[in-house]
Amino acid sequence: MVQRITVLGAGSWGTAFAKVLADAGRDVTMWARRQSVAAEIRDRHSNSGYLPGIELPANLTATHDADEALAGADAVVLAVPSQSLRANLSGWREALPGDAVLVSLAKGVELGTLKRMSEVIAEITGVGNDRIVVVSGPNLAKEIAQGQPAAAVLACTDHDRAVAVQQASFNSYFRPYTNTDVVGCEVGGAAKNVIALSCGMAVGMGLGANTTATLITRGLAEMARLGTKLGADPLTFAGLAGVGDLVATCSSPLSRNRTFGERLGRGETLAEAQRATGGQVAEGVMSCTSIRELAHSHGVDMPITDAMHRVCHEGADPRQVGAELLGRRQKHEWS
């Protein structure tokens, strides 16, 4: 039974997922990089910097000491951004309990290595894939922290371990499903951030529902092409980790990727958009490059992803790349 759980990372999604686990009756300890954040969670049962107005459960505590947080954990939730996972995990590796399940909340493809997050975790820790569980789905942190109904998918090659985490996180408002298609869930989780950038840009340019629906649908086709090329089950992209996550992230103003893209669509530079969002860069800004390279290495066509890379990293005009997407060679929908 998974009862004692450590969450490494105290951002909005890490805190929301920690609350999910605590509301499911687990004993949860969070690690926060900043001592002041750990103290607020522990003493005041809040994390006002990331989830203002949310009261955290009494069975959720926090510490600034990673070794203290990890001691005796049945499961360890990795809740840091995808591009910093390797560095953080290298520092935590020696303190990880030898038999703990490792749960990944990060959604992205690592720059340089082009590895999915579960691959990074396996490489750094040396654990088998059967001990790594990936969480994906339409999971906007603020809504979940407020107790609004939501679902997620927990993917692991060992179905029994996925079930163990499912039982540990199931509560009155959070319904987790299991899946064994880790590749599909990770590709969907990473690629949807890039498509959300494109939808945000469209909104920023004053375009409407037809355009965003087109981007969502064609973006789904892109992620499914890449995923199946990498060995994913095509059905995964019709589920929570595919179309479910895609719709939520592309449609909601709570989505950092969508709102970041909206600023770019209004004509702001990458630096201006970053300053306006408190210095944070949306995951899709980084992932568009690594996903583009991963797709190219496997001969997969991802024109929207390529366009987002050009806007974010080559200074291309969103309107120009939009015109180029519309002017591409005509083709059958499923080719």
- The residues carrying an active-site annotation are 192
Give the angle subtended at the CA of 93 by the CAs of 91 and 95, to the nearest 5°.
Answer: 100
Q: What is the C-alpha to C-alpha distance for residues 119 and 128, in angstroms, rounded to an integer?
A: 10
* R_g (Cα) of the chain, nearest Å: 19
Structure-token pair, residue 124? 């750094």
What is the rounded CA–CA span in Å between residue 87 and residue 50? 22
Q: If you write DSSP's letter for every residue of 148-162 in order, what string do you get?
A: --EEEEEE-SSHHHH
Question: To 10 degrees, the CA torsion angle through 251, 201, 325, 81?
Answer: -70
Cα 299 off chain centre by = 25
Q: How many Cβ atoms are within 10 Å of 331's Cβ, its own excluded?
A: 7
- The residue type found at 261 is G
Burial state string for 148-180 with b = 16 or more CB within 10 A and e = fewer than 16: eebebbbbbbbeebbbbbbebbebeebebebbe
Nearest CA-CA partner of 133 in 118, 123, 114: 118
